[in-house]
Structure 1
Amino acid sequence: MASAQEAESENDSDGGNADALEREAEDYVSRVLSTVSLQASRPPHSLPMEAQGGIQYGGLDLKKSPVSGEDGEVSSPLLLLPLELILHILTYLDARFILTVLPLVCRTFRDIVSEKVTWRVRVQKKVRNNFPVVEQQNFDWPSACIELEEQLSHWSDNGRTEHFSLADGHYASVDAVLLLQGGSLCVSGSRDRNVCLWNLRNLGKDKEKVLVKPLGTDKTGTHKGWAWSLASCEDRVCSGSWDSTMKIWDIGAEGQLVQDIRGRAAILCLAYLPDILVAGSYDKRVSVYDPRASSPLIKSRKIHSSPVLSLVADDRHIVSGSEDRTLVVFDRRVNAVSQRIQLDNYLFCMSYEAPQLWAGDNQGLIHVYGSHEGTFQHLRCFDVGHASQVTGIWHSAGALYTTSTDKTMKVHIPTDPPRTLRTHTHSSVVNGVSVAGRTVAAASGGQMVEIWRFPE
């Protein structure tokens, strides 16, 4: 990437006047986020991939009791049943209870709970589809099973999910939303140029105390252009704007401004790690900053031929997607681009936790990539029912959320293919989604932040 001095020398823009910035942003939205229904032919819900093998049971014999004659006294007559029948009985118990309580009963139950096959069998009975989509070593089956079952429970017809529409903070489209502190706080960025801080602990209690404040002290707004992107690292939040700035806020200190970093073009996407802040911008660049330094810019490079729409990062890779229909992998260890993948469509949003990268494109499709030894491979393409651009995606071991300009948010189980549990239809486009703990937040083009909260 270019040196910091070279990039800084190019940075002679003050963001332009507000009207020019807004015209540029509106042109971008008209081009990239058109809400016209898609007529292009769609692929099947899943692209070919080597079939996953059957469940391997290791040394366990499902037809026999897990207690051998050498185990001495049996703590429960239940343990004299064949293991297969024991596992079936356990399906009637809550997964979290099984994981936390049964190991305390006796050694045999502890061994059953610690065996991976216990959870694989349980998951397969629940979803009856390939899971996980990307096979990986050391997959946390118990945690995935707990999360998956809680998703099924929360979003079932009998689920007790609470819903709140926060309409008091913004007077223009909300384009970014981010949950903090396990879902107790929320920040939102809007075309009204403000980034608002919300205290979700007061939901359903004191409506006037839910909106804490817009961040910053300038009466004209948090930024001088649309507040378009958000990222967080611990208690620090970075907001990126069409005014070409990134502002870092200390949420632990009541949202005080910590740093104001000026880029050279509109900031369209962000990734925030403990050691670096990564920004993708309208001028086709991916830039890396160290917010702890007095001169934060580390390097900046034009690695795309069109605006950078989405990116993710970890301690090894920076992965960026662009309107030029490429996915570029930058290897931080060797300080060079290691892979450039040409796509049929452009990726507007990403969710990444190695080795799985899930992304949504401008045709309403979901793509899954797997990473192995530094190389990313396209594994799957799913049509989950969106009629236009996928604007937001959030993936974990047991949950998948997607939002779209087709005015919907969809809740899925991340199987192959994904199983859609719920479709929420809105009066306006939905621009992004964030999930933390028991809380889900969506950014609405209808000037609102939508919140769903699950019971404990």
Structure 2
Amino acid sequence: MASTPEMEFDYDSDGEISEDPERQAMDYVSRVLSTVTLQDKASRTPHTLPMEVQDEMLHGGLDLKKSPVSGEDGEVKSLLLLLPLELLLHILSYLDARFILCVLPLVCHTLRYIVSEKMTWRVRVQKKIHAKFPIQEQKDFDWPSACIQLEEHTSHWSDNGNREHYSLADGHYASVDAVLLLQGGSLCVTGSRDRNVCLWDLRNLGRDQEKATVKPLGTDKTGTHKGWAWTLAACENRVCSGSWDSTIKIWDIGAEGQMVQDIRGRAAILCLAYLPDILLAGSYDKRVSAYDPRAASPLIKSRKIHSSPVLSIVADDRHIVSGSEDRTLVVFDRRVNAVLQRIQLDNYLFCMSYQSPQLWAGDNHGLVHMYGSHGGTFQHLRTFDVGHESQITGIWHSAGILYTTSTDKTMKVHIPTDPPTTITSQSHNCVVNGVSVAGRTVAAASGGQTLEIWRFPE
């Protein structure tokens, strides 16, 4: 069993929080999710930099003027491959990116070489989007995956794109505040103010009029939790749910959603991050707590590192990053067991999405912030206004696509360029509280008591 790096956190003298969790939750939502209008944003200028033309995209390891192949004796192996590489790439631009990546390497060594070259994909992306991408230069950036994600999502979300939409209303009878797709999008977990956590089986959704099956987790007749089910996180087949009742419950999805652990905290659990060796929770009492779910006594350490409730948290094997209502972003270094950075912000970060080295975050004024990690520290790179009129409640990003949801009743889909290029804005009849993406499926949590599902064809 891998050892768990300890966080040298200590309890301070704060007593137990005895306030009624339902009232506490209502006060929190009234304060943190109060509406911010466009007029409030008018005086705020996003800190964006002008787009830079990346001429190096067209200069690199490949000579676009020459044919990439001939035999050792000078004999051309294929008339098609006699063409200059620039023409070959133009021809390939009419083919599906996933087809190019999966099929063409099987044809011949030359096409395998072309497909494996980073410059092939950089040229393809640059010709399609005409903007700085990626925002942060990365030596090991996965250009093929980014290109596939960009092209497929752009195609499916276009005005005539091929996608299916389902509004699932059979699981909850109150606002859905948390959503998480599992197993490539075949399963989904939701948390709601009705105190339930529901497991949705989406595998038969849309097939011969079949519906998604839904199952509340737990056996308590009053609900999965005794307070609002507010946040979710997953690691492999284990899902954890955090609630305003100050508990974290862990469920085994491989065992049909059986509960395997019930962890009692000191205050409402507002955000979670789940890694193989550690479970992290940000709570209403300004603390970040670390647990080892494998241990009989799971609490490792807990420490108050903020002066207001902790709203969002992300982590990897080195960093723990937490955002708070106190308008700070705190970076904790797991290797040295110490706070590495404390970044003061103008607004507070309500949600975050982290794939090293990029951290994307949405704030209470509808702005998107992008941070990059380099040399162990995080640096603020950009702030963008992507068109939301109030709080950003959910954010999800990958190499080639960016999703945001807001209390302005929209979900927006963007290409993560500098600045982000918005592909579509999906309007809803109620606030949208979060988003999750996996495989061909996009899921959003609705304040209108529904789970919204979009699915792309294979």
Q: Please give the TM-score of this superposition, normalised by the length of structure 1.
A: 0.94
1:347 matched residue in structure 2: 349
- Say whether 1:177 aligns with 2:179: yes
1:35 matched residue in structure 2: 35
Which of 170, 181, 194 is matched with 1:192 structurally? Answer: 194
Shift of 1:69: 6.7
- Matched residue type, 1:342: Q
Cα distance change on mapping 1:152 and 1:418 into 2, 3 Å: same
Contact map agreement 2:351 2:361 (CA 8 A) in 1: yes
How many residue pairs get aligned? The number is 451
2:206 matched residue in structure 1: 204
Cα distance change on mapping 1:116 and 1:24 into 2, 3 Å: same
Cα distance change on mapping 1:290 and 1:207 into 2, 3 Å: farther
- Matched residue type, 2:91: I
Q: What does the per-residue CA deviation read over 1:297-356, in whole Å, with 9 as the maximum and x for residues that have no partner?
A: 001010001100001000000000001111000000000000011111110000001000
Distance 1:50 1:452 in 2: 34
2:170 matched residue in structure 1: 168
2:239 matched residue in structure 1: 237
Distance 1:49 1:330 in 2: 32
Shift of 1:134: 1.4
Structure 1: 5+ residue stretches without partners: none
1:454 matched residue in structure 2: 456
- Percent of matched pairs sharing the same residue: 81
1:214 matched residue in structure 2: 216
Q: Please give the TM-score of this superposition, normalised by the length of structure 2.
A: 0.94
- Matched residue type, 2:154: L
1:78 matched residue in structure 2: 80
Q: What does the per-residue CA deviation read over 1:60-99, in whole Å, with 9 as the maximum and x for residues that have no partner?
A: 2212222357464433212111111111111011111111
Distance 2:425 2:62 in 1: 40
1:443 matched residue in structure 2: 445
The 5 Å alignment of 1:110-121 reads 110-121=112-123
Cα distance change on mapping 1:190 and 1:182 into 2, 3 Å: same
Structure 2: 5+ residue stretches without partners: 1-5
Distance 2:186 2:355 in 1: 23
Contact map agreement 1:392 1:431 (CA 8 A) in 2: yes
- Matched residue type, 2:29: V
Distance 1:68 1:207 in 2: 55
2:108 matched residue in structure 1: 106
Contact map agreement 2:171 2:214 (CA 8 A) in 1: no
Q: Which runs of 4+ in 1 moved over 6 A?
A: 1-4, 8-11, 48-51
Cα distance change on mapping 1:259 and 1:89 into 2, 3 Å: same
Counterpart of 1:193 in 2: which secondary structure? Answer: coil
Distance 1:160 1:347 in 2: 34
Distance 2:197 2:222 in 1: 12
CA RMSD of aligned residues (A): 2.0
Shift of 1:370: 0.4
Distance 2:8 2:332 in 1: 16
Distance 1:9 1:218 in 2: 33
Shift of 1:210: 2.0
Cα distance change on mapping 1:86 and 1:225 into 2, 3 Å: same
Shift of 1:35: 2.2
Contact map agreement 2:61 2:119 (CA 8 A) in 1: no
1:287 matched residue in structure 2: 289
